[in-house]
Structures are given as C-alpha cells and as structure tokens.
Chains A and B, each alone.
Chain A
Amino acid sequence: MSEDAPADPVQGAEATNETQPKVEKGEPINVVVKDQHGIELHFKVRKTTKFDKIMKAYCDKKSFQLNQLRFLYDGERLKPDQSPEEVEMEDGDVIDCVMQQIGGH
C-alpha cells in the first residue's frame, strides 16, 4: 500500500514559500504511517513539511476524522505544527497511528 500522491502538492507549496534557501533543506524523505493492525501507508514529504499535511492526507485516505486519531513517533505525540526536521525523523521512519481510547466500565 504505497501512496505518494497526497504529498505532491504539499511539496510544491513548500518550495514556493522558501525562495532563497537551498533546495537541499527540504529534501524529500519517506515517512511510513502504521496503524494498529500494522497496515502501512507511505508518504514522500520534505523534511520541512508540517505533520498537519500528513495527518490530514492520512485521515482523508482512511476516512477518519483527525480528532479520532493520535500520531506517535517513538511513543511521543506528534503535533500538527511540527515537521520531520524538528523531531529528527529520518528516511523510512515509522509514525504510529492509534485510535483514541475511551473507557468507562
């Protein structure tokens, strides 16, 4: 299940925003979003792309609402306004996607 399409327009937007810095800064990496059942979805994003875009693309793809899902990178919550660069993510790293947990009885 590989899916590169959602990330493509994202890259374009990012590239136009930062004009003068070198292109290498936003070099693309592969990010894998893995759900509880171990099903993976691959995204190709720039290191400077906010997770917001990945999360939204994932939700669209899987027909979830954003507030139903939690995205974890090595056990830490990812915020939408962070980017792979900030959390020192490398090529091929896995983001865990878990459903929200509610319990009463």
Chain B
Amino acid sequence: MAHEPPPGMDRGSSGLGGVRGAKGTGQMVGDGERGSIAGSSLPARSRLNRQPASGWYPTAPTSIAGSAKGHQRASANGWAPKKRAASSGGVPFTSGHQPGLEPAKLNPRIADELEKGKELARKEEERKRRISACEACGATMESYRENEKARHERRMAALQSSESRLPPVDALEDNWALSDVGGNGCFDAVQEHRLSDLFKGLTVSPKYEITAEAAAKYKAAMMAPRDRLLVELNAGMEVSGEHIKCLIHGQWLNDEVINCYMKLLQERDGRMRERGTLPKAHFFNSFFLEKLYNPHGGRKYNYKAVQKWTGKGKLKRWGQACDSVLDCDLLVFPVHLGAHWTCAAANLKEQRLIYMDSFHGVRRDILDVVGRYISDEAMDKGKRAIDTSGWSREYPAVPRQENGCDCGVFATQFASFVGAGQEMDFTQENMKYFRIQVTNELLAKRIDVP
C-alpha cells in the first residue's frame, strides 16, 4: 500500500483549489503534494474524503500535520472508515472517537516501553536458566570438564589394559591398518569402547577360543578406513572397511557381509564336494527371498522376479558346480525380516523345510514360499513336478540369541553348520568368537568346516 497519495488525488485537489489559489497552484506543482496540502485546507479536506477509498487513511494525520485544522479533520474523518459517512458531513469531534485515537498516538512510546520490558525479562530469564542448569547437575563448567577428562582417561586406560593382555604380535607393527588409524576418522570412541569390551571377562568354551592372532587381525580390520576395499570376490561382491565395521560387537550385520559369507560358504561347498563328505548345498544371497517374496513388506510371491537368477552361467559364476539348484541336496536362504536376520533351508533329499530363527520365531509362510519356489523351479528348469505341500516344516531348537544385535552372526552360523551338516553346539556366549571368526574368514576368503 502506497504511503504517498495516488496521483489521481493530487489532480483532484488542485482542481478544487484552483479557483482560490491560482497563484498558489503554480507553486504547488513545483513543491509537490505536501505543499498543496499545507497550503489550503479545502483541498486537504476533499483529499481526506477520498482517502479511505484508496485505503490510505492510516497515514493521513501525519502527512498533513502542518495544519492543525487539517489534523483534526483528518482524525475525525480518516480514523474510522465505518463512520466515514457521518464525519464527512462535518460532524465535530466526539469523545466516542477518542479511544480509537489514543492507542495510535501512544503506540510508538508504548511499543518502545514494552520492547524494553520484554528484553529485560528475557535477559533475566536467561540468567536464571543458566544458573538453574548448573544447580540441576550440581556442577560448574570446570567440574564438568574435569569429569569428562577423567572419564576419557578411564576409557583409555581400559583400552590399554585390554591391549596389554594380548601377547604382542609382530605382524601388527607394520600393519597398514594401524598406520592410518584416525586418518579417515574411521574409528570413533564408541566403537573403541566396544572393542575394548570385547577382550575382558571373556568366557569361551575350549572349541571356540579366541586366539591372539585372530583378535589382532580382527582389530586391525575394524580399524581400517571406511573406503578401503578389504574383501573382493568375483561376481561383483566386495566388503569395504565401512561394511566390515558391522562385525564390531554390538553392531547389526549388513547384507554385504552376509552375502560375501554365503559366497564363501558356496566356495567351501565346492571344495568339499570332491571329497563327498558334505551335502551338496546351494547358498542363495539375501536378496533372493526379498525379490521372490519380500517377507517383511509386500509378501507377494513372484517367481518371475527370480526366474533368471539360477541360470547355468549364473550358478557357475557363483561357484555352484551343478547345472540346476535342484540337483543339490540342500538349499540355504538367508532371510532378512526388516531388522532381523534368520535362515531358511530346504533339504531336498529328506524332503524337509527348515526355518532357523535365533529368537525361535515361526514363519510358516516363508517355508511355504520356499516349497512353492522349489515346485516352480522344477517345473521351469527341469520340466518335472515336485509336490512340496507334504514336506515336513521344521523349526528346530537352534541356539538362542539373548541380545539385540547378534542375529546376523547367528544366521551366518546356522547357514554354515547346516551346510556342513553339523550339530550346532554354540551359544550366545560364543558370539564374540564368531564375530572375530567371520571377519577372519572374510579376510582370508576361505571358510573351513566348523
């Protein structure tokens, strides 16, 4: 909204005042509008009468402050648009208008005072809050800093003692991983703390004993920079420093680690097959069931999505010697359930479908999907019919997970033990060992029979 009167108004005023102040108008044009208002009251009034029409009335009193008469009129006319009809007829100032005028006049001063008061109150409040925060924790800034320092020292001491408990490993000295610790900021304090936790109060069964060498290698891998490629397998599978950190105690496992582990299990299977001691197994990757069924999302069976996944060339590249997965004795599927890893298996020889959940969950739908996949695959690839509806569905009492982070490790071990046809004799307590073991197996690109 313009604060200057619109041009049309000026024209009107000079037209009205033109009769009386012909000589004045000549001046007025040069002076501009303000001069014209102050110079004659008549144009001013006529102007005021028009003002509300243009929505300009709030600034009217100040713009014609030069004439007291004009001022009064302006306030009488201009302030309240609703009463304009009455005031334009020359109705004098009434007390009824006064309250409307008051706040407007005092407004700047009051606003100023209010502003000052508010600022004072705000400052006072801030000061109080600062004091009460200290009162709440009972500490000043200095004591807080001291506390932090002491805690840091304690943490460092714990780490040192856990290190000194391990025998020195010469290979560690020229290890690349230790040389650029911190270079990438890859190793934060939380992880360090967890790592130091790993080595104290360790109770292991004699079979699952953590050797110093394994622990050192593991630690070095955990400290590797995030962008360093640690494990590279064929078929585009790789584990970088970023992904292997999920094997730190307390972290959740990711698909890269699980899938590389499956690949290595497949290679182990290939090696052992010549000896004929192990069941012929095929290990799928973790995306297989996700595409086939999406057990934690859509739950829609879609054989077409994975139809081409088990072609002959694909199986070769994966490490599977058989031409079809159905020539194997055992199929192993890692299952991802949103935030949980489990493992499903199908024993084709004995016609059993097995679901292994470290929380002993029961998912019949997943086993049904696996059965249905076997039927469809047989029909598609081998042109033969396999009816899996009568196969037994089993939920064996596998070792039970007792925390909220180790399910991925459990799942890898279920796959490993089932693939090797062995009894599972580990417990939650051995998970620290298995985290180290899995890491070392990945780094060595070789898994041996448990």
Are the chains A and B members of one assembly?
yes
Q: Does A72 contact B (CB under 8 A)?
A: yes
Question: Within the complex, what minimum Cβ distance (angstroms) separates B279 from chain A?
Answer: 22
A residues 50-105 touching B (CB-CB < 8 Å): 67, 70, 72, 74-79, 82, 96, 98, 100-105
- Distance from B201 Cβ to chain A, minimum over Cβ atoms (Å): 22
Q: Does B370 contact A (CB under 8 A)?
A: no
Q: Which residue of A lies closest to B300 (CB)?
A: A38
- The docked-state distance in angstroms from the alpha carbon of A45 to that of B298 is 31
B408 close to A104 (CB less than 8 A): yes
The interface-forming segment of B44-52, B99-107, B133-141, B399-407 is B399-407
Interface pair A103/B236, CB less than 8 Å apart: no
Q: Do B255 and A70 touch across chains, with their CB atoms under 8 A apart?
A: yes
* Least CB distance, B295 to chain A, in whole angstroms: 11
> Which residues of B lie under 8 Å from residue A76 when comparing CB positions?
235-236, 314, 317-318
Say yes or no: B305 contacts A96, CB within 8 Å: yes
Known: A36-B290, A98-B287. A104 touches B253 (CB 8 A): yes
Q: A67, A74, A82, A103 — which one has the most chain B CB atoms within 10 A of its CB? A: A103
Q: Which of B67-75, B87-95, B338-346 contacts A (4 or more CB under 8 A)?
A: B338-346
Does B308 sit within 8 A of A, measured CB to CB? Answer: yes
Which residues does chain A contribute within 8 Å of B406, judged by CB atoms? Answer: 104
**Which secondary structure characterizes the binding site on chain A?**
loop
Enumerate chain A residues within 8 angstroms of B308, measured Cβ to Cβ. 74-75
A22 within 8 A of B: no
- With A and B bound together, what is the CA distance between A74 and B271 in angstroms? 25
From A72, A82, A96, A103, B338 is in contact (CB under 8 Å) with A103
The chain A residue sitting closest to B287, CB to CB, is: A98
- Which residues of chain B are within 8 angstroms of A103 by Cβ–Cβ distance? 252-253, 336-341, 407-408
* A75 engages B404 (CB within 8 Å): no
Residues of chain A within 8 A (CB-CB) of B341 are: 103-104
Option from B298, B309, B310, B405 in Cβ contact (under 8 Å) with A104: B405
A5 → chain B closest CB, angstroms: 27
* Binary contact track B304-324/A, C-beta < 8 Å → 1, others 0: 011011110010011000000
Total number of A residues with any Cβ neighbor in B under 8 Å: 20
Chain B residues with CB under 8 Å of A78's CB are: 236
Chain A contacts for B285, CB-based, 8 A: 75
Q: In the assembled complex, which residues on chain B have CB atoms less than 8 Å from the CB atom of A75?
A: 285, 287-288, 291, 306, 308-310, 314
Q: A51–B337 Cα gap in the complex (Å)?
A: 29
Q: What bracket does the count of chain B residues touching chain A fall in?
A: 35 or more
Q: How far, in angstroms, from A103 to B410 measured CA to CA in the complex? A: 11
Q: How far is the CB of B316 from chain A (nearest CB, A)?
A: 11
Interchain CB contact under 8 A, A105 and B297: no
Q: Is the interface of B mostly helix, strand, loop or mixed?
A: mixed
Those of B389-431 within 8 Å (CB) of chain A = 401, 403-408
Residues of B contacting A79 in the complex (Cβ-Cβ under 8 angstroms): 236
Closest B-chain residue to A103, C-beta based? B341
- CB neighbours of B339 from chain A (8 A): 102-105
Nearest-neighbor residue (CB-CB) of A82 within chain B = B236
Bound CA span A67–B406, Å? 23
Q: A105–B291 contact, CB under 8 A? A: no
- Chain A residues, Cβ within 8 Å of B254: 100-102
Taking A74-B314, A75-B287, A76-B314 as contacts, is the C-beta distance between A102 and B236 under 8 angstroms?
Answer: no
Decide: B287 and A70 in contact? CB cutoff 8 A.
yes
Partner of A74, one of B242, B256, B297, B309: B309
Given contacts A76-B235, A76-B236, contact A104 B291 (CB under 8 A): no
Using CB atoms, name the residue of chain A closest to B406: A104
Collect the chain A residues with CB atoms within 8 Å of residue B287's CB.
70, 72, 75, 96, 98, 101
Which residues does chain B contribute within 8 Å of A36, judged by CB atoms?
A: 290, 294, 297-298
Which chain A residues border B408 with CB–CB below 8 Å?
Answer: 103-104
Closest Cβ of chain A: how far from B294's Cβ, in Å?
7
* B358 and chain A: residue at smallest CB distance: A105
Query: What residues on A are CB-neighbors of B288 within 8 Å?
Result: 75
Asked if A105 and B314 sit within 8 Å, CB to CB, the answer is no
- 18 examples of A-B residue contacts, CB within 8 angstroms: A72-B287, A72-B291, A75-B288, A75-B314, A76-B318, A96-B305, A98-B287, A100-B254, A101-B255, A101-B290, A102-B253, A102-B339, A103-B339, A104-B252, A104-B253, A104-B341, A105-B340, A105-B401
5 closest Cβ pairs, A-B complex: A104-B252, A75-B309, A77-B236, A101-B255, A105-B404
B residues contacting A by CB (< 8 A) are 235-237, 242, 246, 251-256, 258, 285-288, 290-291, 294, 297-298, 305-306, 308-311, 314, 317-318, 336-341, 359, 401, 403-408
Given A102-B252, A104-B406, A105-B403, 6 extra CB contacts under 8 A: A77-B236, A79-B236, A96-B305, A100-B256, A101-B287, A101-B290
